[in-house]
Structure 1
């Protein structure tokens, strides 16, 4: 009989497998339709989503790193919501709050990724580092801000060179500056929530949901970490 923890892992694995398969079928059909319609930019975005679905294979074969199911599923769902629903299906125009919600979520996710990266480096036996909780939290926050800034540059470039409308100019501000600033602000808020939560966890060992993600990554890649 399986232990409760094993049962949870089994349910997570099954949910991950079902969602990924459904998304792959949907993206494959969409890819063919976009190719027939010659919508090249949307085709590129859908191709990128499909590549993200298969990314664990690349990490496993090239870097000998196992990506936990919850990491992969979170990344795929976010990219699907951002690129497919947002850009291909035009949710950014249909729902005024879609852009704000995704940028806030991006801040949370990039904060988590930054926290995980520096925490893993701190615990890895391949790298001799010993960083305090304050620095780990600060790195997570600045990492999320940096990624958010790179994304805004990407949006600006796509608008300038391909005539897209990724910056979403607002009424009274056709330049898109207001949209860009709000994107950066909500991204920073999301990053701060995760960074501060991680700092409290490291200082006081209080509950922090990312702890489960860290433990999952360590369990799948034990050779990377100190005993």
Structure 2
């Protein structure tokens, strides 16, 4: 016996099927070919979710099916059956624009899930371009569908070339607006604009997305970073706490590491390799004399907690990697959305990256940078 939500879903779906069937009969008797075609297509669509579930084990939430079918029915009855759109060019423009936004947010949801589930890795600008291209492709396919109906049943959906170009222009505008929204969504790592329904469908059915990207091993990442050398996003340090000239523990070594981490957080993120000299020589971590890797990681975590802050730990990931028979510490820093100060010897200092160096900002330069980089903190 089906559950209550499922039973309600079946009742509503079958009711819509009955209405579509009656609509088809009405359209046949009144010689309205377009309504006939749309009613048949909509009727077939009502069986697709169950077919996908049975053949490919793809589950589509019942709420999504109901909302989609009600929208389709409303479009059909208000549009052609009742002649609601006839004689109003602005209503036609509004419907086309609304449809372009719906298709755009469908594209945004697909890119969001692909990015979230590690199928693709892209920066916000490229992500926005993908959203724009996908949204415009969906809209163009819809225009081709209308053209096909016009060719087969003379539906009159596209009256002339001007009408088609007007629809394509509106679709382009909708795709552009959604791609801008997608850029902000990817940049701020939010999913508020993505369709909850589509996200659930795609996440519950991983076969629709294809295989995940093969992640690079930490060792390969380290080797590539060493080959690139120091940049605005890459820094090498010889040791964690040992001065290699005196062979003694030196707090200044730890402070240099904390400066670099703070600078990465305040700029655009970066990778810090400890156990590498400035000329790319692999020195290892043996000079720091930690009894084991756990003690080393705990020491780094405690330094960050004490001098940068617990709240920034999620932006910092450290791992010990072995390369050329020596251990290297890789610290990956993400860009922080909040200003980060280094607290050291009863002082608070602010660092950013400038090329391959970490520099301290003070006075008006500090104020200007924070106002520009972190406007929400003002």
Residue aligning to 1:66 = 59
Q: Deviations over 1:166-215 (max 9, x none)?
A: 124xxxxxxx2332222122222222332222221221134624263455
How far, CA to CA, are the matches of 1:107 and 1:28 in structure 2?
A: 28
The offset of 1:120, in angstroms, is: 3.1
How many residue pairs match? The answer is: 207
How far, CA to CA, are the matches of 1:98 and 1:77 in structure 2?
A: 20
Report the structure number with the largest CA radius of gyration: 2
The offset of 1:150, in angstroms, is: 2.7
What TM-score do the two structures reach when normalised by structure 1? 0.70
Aligned residue among 183, 190, 210 for 2:194: 210
Residue aligning to 1:148 = 139
> Do the aligned residues in 1 keep the contact of 2:106 with 2:198 (CA within 8 Å)?
no
Q: SS of the counterpart of 1:97? A: helix
Cα gap change, 1:223/1:55 in structure 2, threshold over 3 Å: closer, same or farther? closer
Larger RCO (alpha carbons 8 Å, 6+ apart): 1
Cα gap change, 1:214/1:164 in structure 2, threshold over 3 Å: closer, same or farther? closer
The offset of 1:219, in angstroms, is: 6.1
What TM-score do the two structures reach when normalised by structure 2? 0.46
Listed as ranges, the gaps of 5+ residues in structure 1 are 1-9, 169-175
Q: Deviations over 1:104-146 (max 9, x none)?
A: 1221111122222233334457xx5323333332222212212
How far, CA to CA, are the matches of 1:132 and 1:76 in structure 2?
A: 36
Tell whether 2:25 aligns with 1:32: yes
Residue aligning to 2:368 = none
Aligned residue among 107, 126, 129 for 2:120: 129
Residue aligning to 1:92 = 85
> Do the aligned residues in 1 keep the contact of 2:109 with 2:195 (CA within 8 Å)?
no
* Residues 8-27 of structure 1 mapped to structure 2, 5 A cutoff: 20-27=13-20
Q: SS of the counterpart of 2:60? A: coil
> Do the aligned residues in 2 keep the contact of 1:68 with 1:220 (CA within 8 Å)?
no
Listed as ranges, the gaps of 5+ residues in structure 2 are 213-378
Tell whether 2:98 aligns with 1:105: yes
Residue aligning to 1:46 = 39
Cα gap change, 1:46/1:161 in structure 2, threshold over 3 Å: closer, same or farther? closer
The offset of 1:48, in angstroms, is: 0.9
Tell whether 2:169 aligns with 1:167: no
Residue aligning to 1:138 = 129
RMSD across aligned C-alpha pairs, in angstroms? Answer: 3.5
